[in-house]
Amino acid sequence: MQLARVIGTVVSTVKNQSLEGRKLLVIQPLDGRLRDSGKPIVAIDSVGAGKGETVFWCRGREASFPFVPSEVPSDCTIVGIVDSVFIAQDE
């Protein structure tokens, strides 16, 4: 999984029918020190995340598992909202 910040939403009316009713968010992947890491991508929300929140997301086929039994085509799903990140200082 990887950390990210929710930076926006995507509205799509003409889309794959199994994406119906799913919230599409634009997220900026972050590294462990919450710095931008890579390009913004589209994620499906599964935990009620909103703009500005720090979240973590799951990639690949497993990203569709939170929606089982419905078959949602996703390779990037937000699966948690971060309360805090602790990073040990480098020795």
Give me the residues that bind another protein (CB under 8 A), please: 1-3, 31-33, 37, 46-48, 56, 58-63, 65-66, 68, 77, 79-88, 91
User: Of 14 and 86, which CB lies nearer to another protein in the complex structure?
Assistant: 86
**Block residue for tokens 């119906």:** 20
**How far apart (Å, rounded) are the C-alpha atoms in residues 4 and 2?**
7
Q: How far is the CB of 89 from another protein (least distance, A)?
A: 10
User: Of 40 and 66, which CB lies nearer to another protein in the complex structure?
Assistant: 66
User: Of 14 and 48, which CB lies nearer to another protein in the complex structure?
Assistant: 48
